[in-house]
Amino acid sequence: MKFKLLFKTISYGIMHFCVAVAVAYGITRDFKMALEIGIIEPIIQTVLFSAHDYLWERNKVDRS
């Protein structure tokens, strides 16, 4: 179960990074700036997603 969550979190982070960079590039038309902008938000979001998913699953098990 933990490896599945880890893989899910990593794949989500990669996808999120790609989307963030693409959106930032679309707005700025500057690839370097898009990378700089795009890397900050997905890192924070991935960590928070992992914590959220862990707490969600833990809460689901406790209620069963």
pLDDT digits (tens, 9 = 90+) for 9-49: 889 878 888 999 999 999 999 999 999 988 888 788 878 98
Confidence of residue 63 (pLDDT cuts 50, 70, 90): low
Q: Say if residues 6 and 43 touch (Cβ distance below 8 Å).
A: no
Give me the chain's average pLDDT, please. 86
Count of H-run helices and E-run strands, the chain: 2, 0
Residues 5, 50: contact at Cβ < 8 Å?
Answer: yes
Tell me the domain boundaries of the chain.
Answer: 2-54
Q: Which residues contact 8 (CB under 8 A, 6 or more apart)?
A: 53
- CB count in 10 Å sphere of residue 6: 11
Cβ neighbour number for residue 42 with a 10 Å cutoff: 20
pLDDT in tens, 39-61: 888 788 878 988 998 898 888 76
